Amino acid sequence: MEPATLVEYGDYECPYCGQAYPIIKNTQEHLGNKLRFVFRNFPITQVHPHAQHAAEAAESAGTQNKFWEMHDYLFEHQHELDDKHLRRYVSAVGMDVTRFDDEMARHVHAGRVREDFMSGIRSGVNGTPTFYINGTRYDDESWDEKTLVAAIKHTLTNSKHCPAKRKKKKTAVAS
């Protein structure tokens, strides 16, 4: 059976995304290889001044095969996302700091972040976090773990799979 695909449009500085982070981690652990999780950047820069650079930092980490390590680190240190702290996190997750500094100075990953953001706009995202299960927007406002797991299990047993179309670089199947 194909795993269900859960897509989150998120902002590393958003407190609601921060609240959703452990729920998603637990959901991944609970469902294991029945769930594919995709994170798409949706930095709301008008409210969260560090969200754009945090998203670029995560994308930079992805080029060094450290996306998920950085993703987790950013949410676990959500209240310290200024450039000075981002640079510390690069070292903490084992990235090449010189390469990171160069990529951030040149905004190498800004286009990728913008691509995610525009994908969200086209999909009707207007706030974070916004979730989709197999391409269908998950609108349960509670997004607590029990409800989310139940919705994903329902999808696994009752619908045809339409996995999110996306490059696989930011996709993880929980093990």
128 neighbors 10 (Cβ within 8 angstroms): yes
Residue 170's pLDDT is what?
Answer: 53
Pairing of strands 4-10, 35-41: parallel
23 neighbors 54 (Cβ within 8 angstroms): no
Full-model pTM: 0.89
CATH of domain 4-173: 3.40.30.10
**How does pLDDT run across 67-108, given as a tens digit for each residue?**
999 999 999 999 999 999 999 999 999 999 999 999 999 999
Residue 161's pLDDT is what?
Answer: 46
Residue 35 in 3-state DSSP?
Answer: strand
Residue 100 in 3-state DSSP?
Answer: helix
Hey, where are the domains in the chain?
4-173
Determine the Cα–Cα distance for residues 110 and 60; give it in Å rounded to an integer: 10
Determine the Cα–Cα distance for residues 58 and 50; give it in Å rounded to an integer: 12
**How does pLDDT run across 127-155, given as a tens digit for each residue?**
999 999 999 999 887 778 999 999 999 99
Q: What are phi and psi of 42, to 5 degrees?
A: -140, 65
- Give, in order, the Cα–Cα distances in Å from 171 to each of 15, 36, 76, 102, 147: 23, 7, 19, 25, 22
